[in-house]
């Protein structure tokens, strides 16, 4: 599991356009990594649209928003197009980044256990350190909490 104050694990993934994105691309600015279970599902769509609708506020705080799931680049492209998302969605089909950030976990639904992504948002400060971890995120009100945490970085 990642720890507050430690260096954020490096990553190199493809976005919805098939372009490589690395953590080091954002050196010197805060990064909001939000991990979500699956494109096109109700909670994940609401969360993505909430980030989309608040992108100007995040830009004003000089922060970058990156959504991450195990969905394919092609599925991310469809999701981004359908909801006019204005930030990158990163594809981690290998689940390496998901494991490095501690969000690939055993989950349970109707008594059945399975592995999946725990909805989590991680804020990485401009020095590349883990600043805040929001675990088991509930979508309503989450954007305001992320914005508050970013303001505290200043």
Among this protein's residues, is 44 annotated catalytic?
yes
The β-bridge relationship of strands 112-117 and 120-124 is unpaired
Contact of 50 with 143, CB cutoff 8 Å: yes
Tell me the CB-side half-sphere exposure of residue 85, using CA atoms within 13 A.
Answer: 27
Residue located via tokens 């089909």:
93
Helical packing angle, 42-53 and 142-153, nearest 10°: 40
Question: Measured between alpha carbons, how far is 154 from 151 in angstroms, rounded to an integer?
Answer: 6
Question: Measured between alpha carbons, how far is 70 from 120 in angstroms, rounded to an integer?
Answer: 14
Catalytic residue, from 33, 44, 137, 143: name it.
44
Supply the residues annotated as catalytic: 44
């Amino acid at each position: 599991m990642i720890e507050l104050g430690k260096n954020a694990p490096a990553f190199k993934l493809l976005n919805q356009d098939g372009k490589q994105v690395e953590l080091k691309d954002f050196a010197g600015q805060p990064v909001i990594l939000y991990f979500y279970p699956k494109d096109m599902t109700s909670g994940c769509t609401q969360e993505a649209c909430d980030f989309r609708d608040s992108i100007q506020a995040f830009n004003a705080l000089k922060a970058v928003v990156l959504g991450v799931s195990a969905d394919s680049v092609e599925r991310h492209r469809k999701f981004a197009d359908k909801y006019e998302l204005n930030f990158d969605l990163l594809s981690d089909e290998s689940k390496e980044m998901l494991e490095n950030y501690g969000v690939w976990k055993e989950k349970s639904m109707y008594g059945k256990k399975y592995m999946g992504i725990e909805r989590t948002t991680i804020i990485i400060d401009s020095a590349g350190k883990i600043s805040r971890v929001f675990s088991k995120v509930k979508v309503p009100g989450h954007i305001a909490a992320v914005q508050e945490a970013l303001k505290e970085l200043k």
